Structure formats: C-alpha cells, structure tokens
Amino acid sequence: MSAPSHHGPDGRFLNPWPVAKGDDEIRRQFWRVARTFLLARRPPNPRPSQLPTARPEVAHPTVDGGEVRITWIGHASTLIQLPGLNVLTDPVWSTRCSPFRALGPRRFVPPPLALDELPPIQAVLLSHDHYDHLDRPTIEALHARFGDGLTWLTPLRYAEWLGALGITRVVELDWWEGALLPGGRFRAVAVPARHWSRRKPLGTNQRLWCGWAVVPVEGEVDAALPERADVAPAGVAPDPPRRRPRIWFAGDSGYCPAFAEIGRRLGPFDASLVPIGAYEPRWFMEPSHMNPEEAVRAYRDGGGRGAFVSIHWGTFRLTLEDPLEPPVRVRAAWDEAGLPAPDLHVPRHGETLQVG
Ligand code: ZN
Ligand code: ZN
C-alpha cells in the first residue's frame, strides 16, 4: 500500500492539496518576512476594557444529561465538557507562548481559570508543536495533577517529546485515525489541517499537525446517558432524549479543501471551534492561517450548522492585524453569508457556552 499523500518521501509531512503547492516556498522567504515584520506599524495592544472577561461556568466534576459546555480559556485553549468527560484542547496557561520566560508574545488577558480550578480532565487534544499550542509548563502542571488519569491525544511523532516529560499515556494518530476517549462514549478523530510544524531540535514538518473531531461512538444508544427524565417531577413531561454531540476543533489551518470532507465524514457538528486570528500579512499567513472570511467558509464547508466558536484571537499578538479586528470581520462575514445570528459565538475569555 502506498503511503498517505501527506507523508513525504523524506519522512517529513506535507500538505497534500493542489492549493498548498507553494506553501513551503512562501515560508522560506526569510528576508522578506523579516523586513515586513520589522517595518510594520503595529496597532496598539488592546486595553483590558476592550477584552472583557467572563466568569467560567464550569460543571464539577462533569456535565450530565445531554449537556455540552465549552469554556474558552483563550487562544486555542478550550475546556470541552461532554457527558462524563472533560477534554482540553491545546492547553496554554503560560504568560508567554515562547521558548523563553521573558521574551516572546505575552498574553493580553490572564487565563480566566487557574489550572488547579479545573475539574478532573480525562483527555487532552494537541494539534501541533508551535509554542502557542504546545506549552511545556502547562503540560507539566497537568501531568503533575492528573498523572495517568489523563490521556494525551496527538498527531504523529509527539510521544517522544511527551515521554521526556514522563508522560506515557499518549495516543499518536494519523489523519482520519480515531481513538476511544476515556469513558467509552466518544471517539476523537485526528482530521487534516493545512498547517506545518517546527520546534527545535526538530526541523520543519518532522511532526504532523491536525484538527480534531469528537464524535459519539457508533452503535451505542443514548439510553446509556444518565436519564434526565428520572428526576422530572410528576406531571412534567420529560425532556426528549438528546442526540449526542459532535464537535470539530479545527486546530491551526489555512483554508483547505479538506474541510468539506471532514464535514461529510464526521459531521454534522453541533459546535465548530474555528481559528479567526493570525492572518496578516496575507501573502505570508494565507498558507497556514485563515482570515475571518475563510473561517466562515470553513464552517460552511464543514456542514454549516451548529455553533461557530471563534478561537485563536485576542490572546497573543502573533501577526500584524489589529488584535481586535477578527471579531469585527467574522461578524460581518457571518451576516454577509446570511447565517443565523444565534449560532455565531465570539466568546469573552472565560465565557462558557452551552451547546447541543
Ligand atoms: Zn501553528
Ligand atoms: Zn496558532
């Protein structure tokens, strides 16, 4: 059998779509990038009043019934609470996303929930090795608190990096591979994204990158969930049984033909967590990050229903756009597309959304 098309002949990974043909050449234009970033006029950092926070409404220890809660910690870090299961995506609690303590992008808003305020976490979904997604101090703290009670799901070639921190409960998956999540009711599937990876000592694209879909395990019936109807007072009609939710976390990605396939194979999604920031300058960022208009297209490609949850903005300054621009543009793109207003979410840091 031939290797999947995103496995390069030299052992590195690549983006297998015609649209991604020139991506690597663009990223190699070091001097053009350096000049652009050095000469750019940066809009000021947001004032705290421009990024108001919300008090998280986290369920302890987990949600029950058919409820789903998604709490935005900031950037790509979210707490997804499903019946009997708490999952973190790309957890970053550090002040800076950088290999250095005192240098590098500094967060505008502190994490709205301390690590030790988290309910028990059973699984972490990691999308790739960039510092704004793979944060060693946070990972060490989570491992210290939860140990082997926590399963780490990653794309290919992260087990060694995690193993060096003493973490052995690691499930490495290739695109379209899935693994049962703790509790056995949901499966996490690694899905394609148009991105890249690099983290010393490894070079570019030596580790895979991905998004994640969390979907119910086929063949089980909803009756396995705790029955809300059991506690309904006499004479009150019980809630109808709820369908178990499907969630898509898009990771970091440029706009990509794979989104429609993700929707076809694993949707329709009840919530799509889509990055809307880190997109300027376009000539350089387009291969690896969507702008807000593309993020809305991605949602429509993925099935175009359920909650759109805006992530990857308003936390770290990584690129040249005004940090407050992505929400403005995503709202405009949403209206332009004629999508229902209640489905668009631009959460405040710490805000908990109930979906499903
Ligand atoms: Zn990245
Ligand atoms: Zn990122």
* pLDDT band (50, 70, 90) for residue 243: low
Residues bordering ligand 1, an ion, CB closer than 5 Å: 130, 252
pTM reported for the whole predicted model: 0.92
Q: Report CA(217)–ligand 2 centroid distance (Å).
A: 29
- pLDDT of 237 higher than 50: no
Q: Report CA(89)–ligand 2 centroid distance (Å).
A: 12
The radius of gyration of the chain from alpha carbons, rounded to an integer in Å, stands at: 20
Closest ligand to C-alpha of residue 90 is: 2
Q: Report CA(252)–ligand 2 centroid distance (Å).
A: 5
Q: Report CA(218)–ligand 2 centroid distance (Å).
A: 32
Closest ligand to C-alpha of residue 316 is: 2
Q: What is the pLDDT of residues 310-334, one digit of tens each?
A: 999 999 999 999 999 999 999 999 9
Mean pLDDT is lowest, of 18-27, 77-86, 217-226, for: 217-226
HEC string of the chain equals CCCCCCECCCCCECCCCHHHCCHHHHHCCHHHHHHHHHHCCCCCCCCHHHCCECCCCCCCCCCCCCCEEEEEEECCEEEEEECCEEEEECCCCCCECCCCCCCCCECCCCCCCCHHHCCCCCEEECCCCCCCCCCHHHHHHHHHHHHHHCEEEEECCCHHHHHCCCCCCEEEECCCCEEECCCCCEEEEEECCECCCCECCECCCCCCCCEEEEEECCCCCHHHCCCHHHHCCCCCCCCCCCCCCCEEECCCCECCCHHHHHHHHHCCCCEEEEECCCCCCHHHHCCCCCCHHHHHHHHHHCCCCCEEEEECCCCCCCCCCCCCHHHHHHHHHHHHCCCCHHHEECCCECCEEEEC
Mean pLDDT of the chain: 91
pLDDT at 251: 98
Q: Report CA(224)–ligand 1 centroid distance (Å).
A: 38
Is 45 or 226 the better-scoring residue by pLDDT? Answer: 45
Q: Report CA(235)–ligand 1 centroid distance (Å).
A: 53
Residues bordering ligand 2, an ion, CB closer than 5 Å: 132, 252
Closest ligand to C-alpha of residue 129 is: 1
- pLDDT of 228 higher than 50: no
Q: Report CA(287)–ligand 2 centroid distance (Å).
A: 13
Q: Report CA(54)–ligand 1 centroid distance (Å).
A: 26
Percent of the chain, pLDDT > 70?
A: 92
Q: Report CA(128)–ligand 1 centroid distance (Å).
A: 7
157 touches 148 (CB < 8 A): no
Q: Report CA(278)–ligand 2 centroid distance (Å).
A: 7
Q: Report CA(312)–ligand 2 centroid distance (Å).
A: 7
Q: Report CA(201)–ligand 1 centroid distance (Å).
A: 17
Q: Report CA(25)–ligand 1 centroid distance (Å).
A: 17
Burial class (CB in 10 A: 0-12, 13-18, 19+), 168: exposed
- pLDDT of 294 higher than 70: yes
Write down all domains in the chain, each with its CATH number in brackets: 18-355 (3.60.15.10)
pLDDT at 312: 98
Mean pLDDT is lowest, of 14-18, 250-254, 274-278, 299-303, for: 14-18
Is 66 or 148 the better-scoring residue by pLDDT? Answer: 148
Q: Report CA(69)–ligand 1 centroid distance (Å).
A: 25
pLDDT at 101: 81
Q: Report CA(122)–ligand 2 centroid distance (Å).
A: 23
- pLDDT of 174 higher than 60: yes
Q: Report how far residue 246's alpha carbon sits from residue 243's, in angstroms, rounded to the nearest whole number.
A: 9
Q: Report CA(77)–ligand 1 centroid distance (Å).
A: 13
* pLDDT band (50, 70, 90) for residue 277: very high
Closest ligand to C-alpha of residue 312 is: 2
Q: Report how far residue 182's alpha carbon sits from residue 136's, in angstroms, rounded to the nearest whole number.
A: 23
- pLDDT of 223 higher than 50: no
